[in-house]
Amino acid sequence: MFRLLSITLVALVVMALPAASSAGEITGTYMEARTCQVYTGPCFANGEVGLAGQEAMMAWNIEKGRHNGVDLAGLKVIVVLRAGETLGFRGIAKATKLKSVVVVDEKASETQRKALIDFAKQHSGKAGRAVVRVDCVKIEMSLDTSELSGKLKAGKIVELQSRKARESDCICMNETAYYPPLAKVENYAAGVAIEAKFSGRGLGTRWSMPNSRSVYMATFDY
- pLDDT tens, residue by residue, 138-162: 999 999 999 999 999 999 999 999 9
Sorted by sequence, the CB contacts under 8 Å of residue 163 that are 6+ apart come out as 148, 149, 191, 192, 194
Task: Say how far apart CA 209 and CA 35 lie, in whole Å.
Answer: 6
Q: Report pLDDT for 45.
A: 56
Backbone angles phi, psi at 42, to 5 degrees: -55, -35
- Per-residue pLDDT band at 167 (split at 50, 70, 90): low
Residues 197 and 57: beta-carbon distance below 8 Å:
no
Q: Report pLDDT for 162.
A: 97
In DSSP terms, 82 is beta-bridged to 55, 99
Instruction: Write down the pTM of the prediction.
Output: 0.87
Task: Say how far apart CA 161 and CA 152 lie, in whole Å.
Answer: 6
Rounded to the nearest 10 degrees, how much is the dihedral formed by the CA atoms of 107, 31, 208, 5? -150
In DSSP terms, 122 is beta-bridged to none
Average the pLDDT over 207-212 and give the result: 95
- Per-residue pLDDT band at 8 (split at 50, 70, 90): very low
Backbone angles phi, psi at 24, to 5 degrees: -85, 175
Lowest mean pLDDT among 108-122, 154-168, 180-194: 154-168
